[in-house]
Copies of this chain bind each other. A is one copy, B any other.
Amino acid sequence: MAKIDTRLPKGMRDFLPSDMLKRDYVFGVVRDVFETFGFEPIDTPVLEMRDTLLGKSGEDADKLIYYAQHPGGKEELALRYDLTVPLSRFVAMHENDLLMPFRRYHIAPVWRGDRPQKGRYREFYQCDADIVGIPDMSADAEIISVVATALKRLGFADFTVKVNNRKILTAIGIFSGVPDAQLGSLYRSIDKLDKIGLNGVVKDLRDNGLPEDVVNRMVGLLDLRGENVPSLDMLAHLREQLDGIGLGQEGITELEQMVEFMDALAVPSDSVEIDVAMVRGLSYYTGPVFETVITKPDNLGSVTGGGRYDELIGLFRKQSLPTTGTSLGIERIIDLLDLLDLYPPELTGTVVQVLVTVFGADTQRDSMRLTSELRAAGIHAEAIMQLQKSLGKQVQYADRKGARVVAFLGPDEIASGVVKFKRLSDGQEVTAARDRATLAVRDLLAE
């Protein structure tokens, strides 16, 4: 009979147990940090009504959304593209059951029909934390604090939180005299500053047909962003430059407030950088935007991104609710933990602690009974099931699997009322009375 192809959809992955142990560890740390900050879990369906998703994250996003349908079903559905639009729909739908501010986290997969490439997948997890209902910068500072705490807890020693405010970007456009219609392409040029340098941006702006005086005014402002200028000094200078542009003054005040609140929340000030050239792509941001970049041992790129989007919930509800939040690039973080060898050593690649060997059919049930007792004591145990395997092969299996202790319960041991245990790491052997088996294993595992 022709066999069915075992092919997976492009850009999608299986996870083996060794992958899952790492992923569960990362999700566990993040969940723990989120809850320490009072964020509470929610979940939403993978499938949403198509109309809920389309048009919320910009045209580029719309092209990447997967459609779904049940043949015979009338509903036009789609797989969620992110966790932010579902949150907005969720808040509008359940507002009577939610206390404001609503702090929620959501760890779940999303789907994007992007071109797959190294580190970019069509199905991937997002880890989001958002605060709904607070217009003040205390909420944005909380978001940055939770991000910094999570990264630290995962073992990242050196990272920079970059902060900007969309209002400042708009004000820079106004200040420089960029026509409204060209603001989008202005942002796209500025966003490339880190990659192509100030000269590159200048060329880009000129290529886009901006007049020379506009380009020069812009460059003067962007030049403020020197490596060695303390953030608050830079902001004070920017405030003078943007004198008379209300939106710019507002954005600067917001950034200054954020800096104060981050300080109260013990976010180390040397890990925060105000970067007036940082844009963040999403169309729905309205105020502060932020991202985190791992800076050592190398510049390893951005691992979190977020911002304030005060108008999005208003698409689903008469009055919007001010909201700010972040998304941890958890797939990237998982890859980096591997690269930087930051996983704790106890993630050995197996959940099994004790492998109970079986001498033969006559003693198999004794081995199973022992296994069952160990389990009742909370020890992860497995008994050999392939009786045709020699004892040597059984120990080999335990070793390859990564079990820490092997148990022997043959006819001799049974006759003498004992069990023999061997720790694989150092060969240490212990013979214990049958009714003290659990204690003996505990000792071997503890050392």
Residues of A within 8 A of B (CB): 1, 3-10, 12-17, 20-21, 23-24, 35-49, 51-52, 63-73, 75, 77, 79, 89-90, 92-94, 97-101, 103-104, 109, 111, 113, 122-123, 131, 133-134, 136, 138-139, 141-142, 145, 149, 260-261, 263-266, 315-318, 350-352, 364-366, 368-369, 371-373, 375-376, 378-383, 385-387, 397, 400-401
Contact = CB atoms under 8 A, between A and B. Distances in A.
25 contacts: A3-B315, A3-B317, A6-B316, A7-B52, A14-B43, A14-B90, A16-B97, A17-B40, A17-B42, A20-B41, A21-B40, A23-B43, A37-B380, A45-B123, A47-B66, A47-B79, A47-B123, A66-B69, A66-B70, A66-B77, A68-B68, A70-B113, A72-B113, A260-B365, A264-B372
Given A51-B5, A365-B264, A42 B70 contact: no
A15 B41 CA distance: 9
Contact of A36 (B41, B66, B265, B379): B379
A133 B382 CA distance: 15
Most chain B beta carbons < 10 A, residue from A3, A138, A373, A397: A138
A20 B36 contact: no
A416 B52 CA distance: 53
Contacts of A5: 49, 51-52
A46 B47 CA distance: 11
A253 B49 CA distance: 52
Nearest to A134: B385
Contacts of A101: 385-386
Given A14-B94, A23-B43, A68-B79, 13 more contacts: A5-B51, A7-B49, A14-B42, A14-B45, A15-B41, A15-B43, A17-B41, A99-B397, A103-B382, A138-B364, A264-B364, A264-B365, A264-B368
Number of this chain's copies in the complex: 2
Contacts of A315: 1, 3-4
Nearest to A382: B38
A47 B46 CA distance: 11
Nearest to A56: B4
Contacts of A372: 145, 264-266
Contacts of A35: 351, 380
Nearest to A31: B24
A21 B31 CA distance: 12
A73 B113 contact: yes
A45 B375 contact: no
Nearest to A355: B38
B70 A67 contact: yes
Contacts of A133: 386
Contacts of A46: 46, 79, 109, 111, 123
Contact of A52 (B4, B17, B89): B4
Given A41-B17, A93-B14, A36 B99 contact: no
A381 B142 CA distance: 12
A375 B36 contact: yes
